[in-house]
Structure 1
Amino acid sequence: MVTPAAGPPAPSRSRGEGPTPGALNPLLRFSGVVLALACIYWGQAILIPFALAVLIAFLLAPLVIGLQRRGLPRPVAVVTVVLFAFAVVLGLGAVLATQVMGLAEELPQYQSNIKQKIADVRLLGRHSGLQRAQETVKQAANEVEREVERTGPGAARTPSPAPVVIQQDRSTRLMSLPAALSPWLELLARAGFVAILVPFMLLAREELRNRVLRLVGFGRLALTTRALDEASERVTRYLLTQSLVNTMFAVLVAAGLFLIGVPYAILFGVLAGALRFLPYVGIWLGAGLPVAMTMAVFQGWTKGLLVVGLFAVLEVFTSGVLEVLLYARSAGVSEVGLLVAVAFWTWAWGPLGLLLATPLTVCLVVIAKYVPELEFLWVLMGDEPIVSTDLALYQRLLAEDEDEASEIVERHLAKHPGDAVYDDVLLSPLALAAGDHGRDRIGSDEQQFVCRAMRDIVEDLLPPPAPGAGASRVRILAGAARSEADEVALLMLRNLLRPAGIDLDVVSADLPCDELVRSARERRVELVVIGALAPGGLTHARYLCKRLRPVLPGVKIVVGRWCVADDVDAMREALLAAGADAVATTLQETRDRVLDFARALYRAA
């Protein structure tokens, strides 16, 4: 829903490097979580007004900043904005109070219509299977009761006791008055605390921020600054955008209800827009009130169904069009994480917790993103990818789920079309499988399945040939330095070269080195490509270069040494010294080197 603040991003954890050194031990972390939960639950009398004040300050801060940029002093700007907010709230309250009182006066007029609707519902229930089952059970129970009375001992029937009426003393009523007023007084006290706290927060915005920085410590100044900036940016953008969307939703609902003929359309429109701030349940609460009113006012069911259809269409339009256009990015919380957060805050703080769930969770997730001790919250509730696409692909291949592995590749291509998928996604599972097999983490059967599944995926991605290219007449042979994984990687290179008119001839990885050299000599190839996927394989690639160079002195040799992270320069020098003409570390770079040599050979011919 919002765009994070500018600045250096937090380190990516999508590769799953593990916990940050120096993080709190699990027991201390668990104790801290339990203490925090206890404070949240039992400190709600103070924390709820404080959280409301902070969110309102976030909402009003852009208006204060705008007035300051126009030359108004901060105290004048704060007073102006706060008075404007009070005027808007009081004006809406007055309009809503007037409409509510009018609605209360008119409801008795619709008593007969309400009874008719209830009778219709009961009549519908009588014809249902559930009602017949209830009547059957009740009839059987009555028969059993009569049988017991008939066969039981003939004791005299006990007379029914006389009813006793208890009249409450007036003094008791007066004593219960404070208990009845207590909830309202508590609500007014909280509202007053919020109203007082908001302007002071707006006046001392920078001072409060500096105190938070000092509390965390200046040793982590950059990290804390990024966290505060991103949290404030996300929450402010969420509140402003959500307020705009809900206002438009309220206007559309009021207009639609007015056209349908529902009385007090303004009241129900404002309530629908306000209730939409409640995640997931607000829209249904907002729709239930006008639907009930329509059922009470109008004969038949047509108007009620029209109101239900109005809310359904407007919600689809708001969620699918307005929010997509106005929200640059999400709030940074996953759907499942937000549902869990809504349940937690509702349990802790009741209805107000439901209202505050989204902005509070946004702040919590942003802070967890930058604090190593709270990383588990960011992992569980954030919406950023925790596992990169290549790791997700490798995981599904280890689970022998070829279907989902293919879907992962298709989804990545839909979002990121182009040749980069081979280097970014498809090479890594082969290298990871080779590394895990070398460390005895997976067996030979699992590695072979990964290679076989990757071969099928690469074959599905084979592009159509592009005839007519002159470089296609150059004879090129490709051989694996060591294993089947090298052969599959060469098939990826074949896919990259085919649109340029080159059909790469990839020999089997089972072919011995001597056979590969003899095949290259017999075919009179002009260019040889050697595929060597890390880890390992460097020795095999060097040996193959040394065998090819004396036999084919005029042939160009390109070595693809892929997925290498360390000592790239030393590796390149070793292969060039062994007889290679070019060394590439990515598939796309290998393609470019092969195309350069092929075009040069074609022009020379």
Structure 2
Amino acid sequence: MFYTLATVLMVLALLYFAKPVLVPIALSTMLAFVLSPLSMTLERWSIKGYRIGRVGSVLVATGIAFGLIALATWALVSQVQSLAADLPNHKTEIKSKIASLRVSEDSTFSRLTAMFQELFPEEGVKAEPARENLDKELDDKFADGSNTDQDELADDAPSTIVVAAAEDGRIAAASDILLPIVEPMATAALIIVLVMFLMICREDVRYRLISLIGDKALTGTTRLMVDTADRVSKFLLYLFVVNAGFGLWFGIGLYLLGVPYAPLWGFLTLCFRFIPFLGSPASVLFPLLISIATSSGWSQPINVLIFFAASELITANIIEPIVFGKTTGLTPIALLIAALFWAWIWGPIGLLLSTPLTVCLVVLGQHLPNLRFLKVLLAEQPTLDARLQYFQRLLANDAKGATSVVEAYRKENGDEKAFEEVLVPALQWTRRERSDGNISAEEERFIWQATRAEVDNAKEAADVETPADDRYCVLGYPVHHESEQIVLSMLKHLHNATCDTNCFTTKQLPSRVLEQVETQQPDVVLLAVMPPGGLPQLKFMCEETRRRSPSSHIVVVYLGEIADYDELLVELRGDGASYLTTSLGQAIHQIEMLRQDAMEKPDTPAIESQDGADMLEGATHAS
């Protein structure tokens, strides 16, 4: 814990104090991600058999990108200067707006303000008593004709000190003016050069990173780099397209509404929307204030607000989900926390880069086991999968919540996967938790009832009920627990259309079941067991079933962890079992293969040779 905390503090200190170095690197990397697809496309192009090559494509791509940035910056500065020169001409409209906002003296707010002023009166500003007394004394002396020492009065008067600027002050003033200009220009030049080198030497950078991490992690490192480049590039590209479209649309709308300098507000909207959460609301403030300052009434500002709100709702709820999809894979809370964190570390640049940097962290968490906590904290997928959500809802005595989880999973994946991946694990955990004493018998019964209800809901939701094929008979028996009875009901639902399946309950004694097996001679006897426990009862049922019905296939459904599959298979076959399956899908597949074989060879005895059984079992085990 100490080392973890120390590592976190060291990383935070490095990010904070190394900002002058890390910010240009981060900006260059993001721009390289954006421009690499364009550079590679230009590199593959050939004009009359001549290719411009790697260096030429990088120069063209960076020239286009930074040329557009410079042109947009020049247009923005010119528009801002024009706005600053034109805004004082609208003093009349601004004064009328302020006057219209004044509260009437008869309003409730004005009366409350007057009441508080009466209860808590403010002390008036007192005149300077010393100055007043001095003036009075002078008037009295001059009025009496007395002699006054003018030099003495002059000494009492305040003196003025004039400081002459030194010659070196000009150099200091010049440096104060030039440094804020030279430093950003030097950083921009460094970013441009670094972007070009990253794109020209991208393979060399990739190989050096792989060498640094080690060749033993070659597969994971390659997937990490590919996933990072793909997701960040797509995200930045899609984000630029959406923001550019929104900025163009908003600028056209402002122009039609008559708002001055509409192109400026459209471009600022494009830039502001790169800031998560806060950028979009902030982008409407400037055109709204200008509309209030320049329009004669309130209709234009209200129309601006309505137009922006409608456009933002359509973009956020329709366009962005379609365009982005699962590109970022970040939760909204993660985006907000990441924006606050990177803004605290790197300021406005960190706020702009917060989403791409967080995407990189999520990718690291997906591919590096030691950083899995980043995936859990930031990734969009739920931290609990469907089976854990279902079991947790049942433990919380929330049957409706559990039903919603199962229904959503069943609609997306089908009944078989819902049973196999959600309901059966819940039954297995219930058996283990009850065996360890972590849950009570009442909680266990509640989970059984809820799970049985989910199986019944699946049967009712089936679109078409196909009549069972009574030519192939399957008898199922739960070896020693009610959870196994629920598993058999799942199997019956999944293959009842192809077989005549009848399942016993735990209330029926094994002797009565064996008597019916001996009388009916089914094609398949399905024995379900869910550990812990149940193995002695399973062996007994295998021996007695084989003795009373030699021609029946005994398929064991063992839903639990098996330390040695081959050893258990040999042991159960010695007791008379034909096949050992460990899931619902394997059991259904095994029964279907046996049924098809029986339909194709009706005269062949149901029991197969040992070689054929071994081959079939091997295929089932492999599947």
**TM-score between both structures, scaled by the size of structure 1:** 0.83
- Higher mean Cα deviation, 522-531 or 453-462? 522-531
- Higher mean Cα deviation, 543-552 or 78-87? 543-552
1:306 matches 2:281: no
The corresponding residue for 1:281 is 278
Distance 1:343 1:602, change over 3 A: same
> Which of residues 105, 116, 141 in structure 1 aligns to 2:85?
105
1:374 matches 2:371: yes
Question: Does structure 1 conserve the Cα–Cα contact (< 8 Å) formed by 2:477 and 2:528?
Answer: yes
> Which of residues 330, 339, 361 in structure 2 aligns to 1:364?
361
Question: Does structure 2 conserve the Cα–Cα contact (< 8 Å) formed by 1:527 and 1:598?
Answer: no
Question: How far apart are residue 583 of structure 1 and its match?
Answer: 4.3
Question: How far apart are residue 552 of structure 1 and its match?
Answer: 4.6
Letter in 2 for 1:344: F
Question: Does structure 2 conserve the Cα–Cα contact (< 8 Å) formed by 1:394 and 1:429?
Answer: yes
> Which of residues 40, 43, 60 in structure 1 aligns to 2:35?
60
Question: How far apart are residue 354 of structure 1 and its match?
Answer: 0.6
1:343 matches 2:343: no
The corresponding residue for 1:585 is 582
1:253 matches 2:250: yes
Question: Does structure 2 conserve the Cα–Cα contact (< 8 Å) formed by 1:255 and 1:265?
Answer: yes
Listed one character per residue, the Cα deviations across residues 66-104 of structure 1 (whole Å, up to 9, x for unaligned) are: 222222132222222222223212222222223222222
Letter in 1 for 2:342: W
1:45-444 superposed matches below 5 A: 45-70=20-45, 71-123=51-103, 127=107, 133-142=112-121, 159=129, 171=165, 178=175, 183-327=180-324, 329-444=326-441
Question: Does structure 1 conserve the Cα–Cα contact (< 8 Å) formed by 2:472 and 2:500?
Answer: no
- Rounded Cα–Cα distance in structure 1 between residues aligned with 2:246 and 2:531: 56
Question: How far apart are residue 278 of structure 1 and its match?
Answer: 0.6
- Rounded Cα–Cα distance in structure 1 between residues aligned with 2:76 and 2:299: 27
Question: Does structure 2 conserve the Cα–Cα contact (< 8 Å) formed by 1:473 and 1:602?
Answer: no
| Higher relative contact order (CA closer than 8 Å, sequence separation 6+) | 1
**Number of aligned residues:** 569
Question: How far apart are residue 198 of structure 1 and its match?
Answer: 2.4
- Rounded Cα–Cα distance in structure 2 between residues aligned with 1:439 and 1:180: 75
Question: How far apart are residue 277 of structure 1 and its match?
Answer: 0.6
Question: How far apart are residue 567 of structure 1 and its match?
Answer: 3.4
Question: How far apart are residue 183 of structure 1 and its match?
Answer: 4.5
- Rounded Cα–Cα distance in structure 2 between residues aligned with 1:326 and 1:570: 53
Distance 1:127 1:418, change over 3 A: farther
Distance 1:93 1:544, change over 3 A: same
Residue aligned with 1:471, SS: coil
Residue aligned with 1:478, SS: strand
Question: How far apart are residue 216 of structure 1 and its match?
Answer: 2.4
Listed one character per residue, the Cα deviations across residues 153-183 of structure 1 (whole Å, up to 9, x for unaligned) are: xxx9972879999999573996677557654
Question: How far apart are residue 284 of structure 1 and its match?
Answer: 0.8
Residue aligned with 1:142, SS: coil
The corresponding residue for 1:5 is none
The corresponding residue for 2:490 is 492
Question: How far apart are residue 420 of structure 1 and its match?
Answer: 1.9
Residue aligned with 2:319, SS: helix
Question: How far apart are residue 385 of structure 1 and its match?
Answer: 4.3
**TM-score between both structures, scaled by the size of structure 2:** 0.81
Question: Does structure 1 conserve the Cα–Cα contact (< 8 Å) formed by 2:527 and 2:557?
Answer: yes
- Rounded Cα–Cα distance in structure 2 between residues aligned with 1:415 and 1:357: 33
CA RMSD of superposed structures (Å): 3.6
- Rounded Cα–Cα distance in structure 2 between residues aligned with 1:422 and 1:65: 48
Distance 1:403 1:79, change over 3 A: same
> Which of residues 446, 449, 474 in structure 2 aligns to 1:449?
446
Question: Does structure 1 conserve the Cα–Cα contact (< 8 Å) formed by 2:269 and 2:280?
Answer: yes
Letter in 2 for 1:480: P
Letter in 2 for 1:36: V
Listed one character per residue, the Cα deviations across residues 1-52 of structure 1 (whole Å, up to 9, x for unaligned) are: xxxxxxxxxxxxxxxxxxxxxxxxx332321111010111122122212211
Distance 1:158 1:497, change over 3 A: same
Question: Does structure 1 conserve the Cα–Cα contact (< 8 Å) formed by 2:569 and 2:580?
Answer: yes
> Which of residues 2, 8, 11 in structure 2 aligns to 1:36?
11
- Higher mean Cα deviation, 591-600 or 158-167? 158-167
Question: How far apart are residue 493 of structure 1 and its match?
Answer: 1.9
Distance 1:121 1:535, change over 3 A: farther
Q: Percent identity?
A: 29
- Rounded Cα–Cα distance in structure 2 between residues aligned with 1:226 and 1:571: 39
Letter in 1 for 2:4: R
Distance 1:158 1:94, change over 3 A: closer
The corresponding residue for 2:613 is none
The corresponding residue for 1:13 is none
Distance 1:375 1:464, change over 3 A: closer
Structure 1 unmatched runs, 5+: 1-25, 147-155
Question: How far apart are residue 524 of structure 1 and its match?
Answer: 8.2
Distance 1:76 1:557, change over 3 A: closer
Question: How far apart are residue 342 of structure 1 and its match?
Answer: 1.0
- Higher mean Cα deviation, 427-436 or 392-401? 392-401
Question: Does structure 2 conserve the Cα–Cα contact (< 8 Å) formed by 1:246 and 1:276?
Answer: yes
